Structure 1
Amino acid sequence: MSYENILVAIEERIATITINRPAKLNALNKATISDLSKAVSALGSDENVRVIIITGTGEKAFVAGADISEFANYNVVEGAQLAAEGQEALFDFIENLRKPVIAAVNGFALGGGLELAMACHFRIASDNAKMGLPEVTLGLIPGYGGTQRLPQLVGKGRAMEMIMTAAMISAEEAEKFGLVNHVVSQAELLSFTTVIAQKIIKNAPFAIGKAIKSINANFKDGKNGFETEIKSFGECFGTADFKEGTTAFLEKRKAEFTGK
């Protein structure tokens, strides 16, 4: 499948999606969101892919925000539709994918860029990364899940401050706040993220998917995370991976998981 604004590479069961709009600092427009949605969907269904990494081209920006020129003249209905369609097609879709998605944040992650990173299951940042939600400077609020996911990650008070001041924070502050898991040099970013992905690949794919579902359930209205965990725990017992994992443990050998 060919894409207009992203590059996709697969190596040793790790897929890397690179947002490729360097002239626009990888800003998200409708076409890029569509490309990302299609790519994540395809990779999510690809049995040869176990982990997805999302990053941006170049050293300046992961995603420097949304492409403001596309919606500058929108009305109330069009604005709400923009947010709803984007959340469904990409941001919520990534969050609920049963395959791990890691954001490798290589520079500016602002507005929709930070929202994309937050939709991923966790984040690694380069030491030059800057993050923020500056929408209120445009007379807007975050519309791709930022008001929901940022408080989950950094706490309500910090999220309120970041959104209301529109301030950018450094990679080191983001790590301190719990917004990113690790900070490494720009040169090390993809290799470091790949090492973590390789550790994930060694484990049972079905179980990882159920872990993602169970963790997410704790943050969803009307969902009981404990009940989801209990059901998901039980479902793991019916898999070939469970039989392989326990047999390998008893036989003192490395397990070979199939995801079934």
Structure 2
Amino acid sequence: MSAPLRLRRQGGFTLAEMLVALTGAGLLIGLLIGLLGSQSAFHLRNEDTIRASQIARALSDGLGAEIRAAGPADLLLATPDTVSIRVDVLRAVVCGTGRGSIDLFVYDSIAANPQSGWRGTASSGPYSATWVYADGFTPVFGVSAAAEAACRAAGADRANRMPTRWFRRTSGWSGGLAPMPVPGSLARIYGRLTYAIHRSDSEPGTASIRRNGQVFASPLESGSAFEYRLSSGAIQARVATADLSRVREVRLTGTAVGRNGRAAGRRVVYAMSLRN
């Protein structure tokens, strides 16, 4: 008799093994997709949180610093979506006067010149803490060696450290301020700085804060607003022009958000006390 034939295992996979392998691969791919999705969501949330924190810091360090430098008399407009203040461009001491001209020693020139053509002039007497404002008026300025001589003779820059360009002879005061400043008075040339809340054109449902028309911080949730605390302690959303000198604090309420919609945002409530 011939020997019985033995069955030999053929190479490859059986149908059952292939189904098990495909099922395992599908589960693995699903897990990888889920992991990548969760990682992506985490990074988007993290990015939004960082962005919201940056917006909050910009508001604190930028808007907050400039508002706090203003006094109640510097407020020009106070509404729910706009706050405008006078901000100094130049500060000087009056050294001498004569025939309609005034000699100035400029002791401070502000580098952060507000991007606005609007200007004004204010003066305060030698023994006064009250400022007289002339919005829209500026005298004619010119660097002058004669003004330098007059100011040095009056005791300005005793250390002789300042160059001639810091001494100015000005004219045209009679057309804007009355009475004219006297020697020892302080003078300020100022501009208008406006922070305004606008609806975003590119991101529906959000808002941005603009500084003199340029985007300063974005995005914030719609509903962000300014409000104002008066000397009486009352908080108002809008202050009439006649009551602006009673404002003691400017407040901004809103929520800084990211651009991905993955984070709840960072609530912003800034109380910015005005300079006394």
* TM-score when normalising by structure 1: 0.23
Structure of greater Rg: 2
Q: Which has the higher helix share?
A: 1
TM-score scaled by length of structure 2: 0.22
**Structure with more contact order per residue of length (Cα contacts < 8 Å, sep ≥ 6):** 2
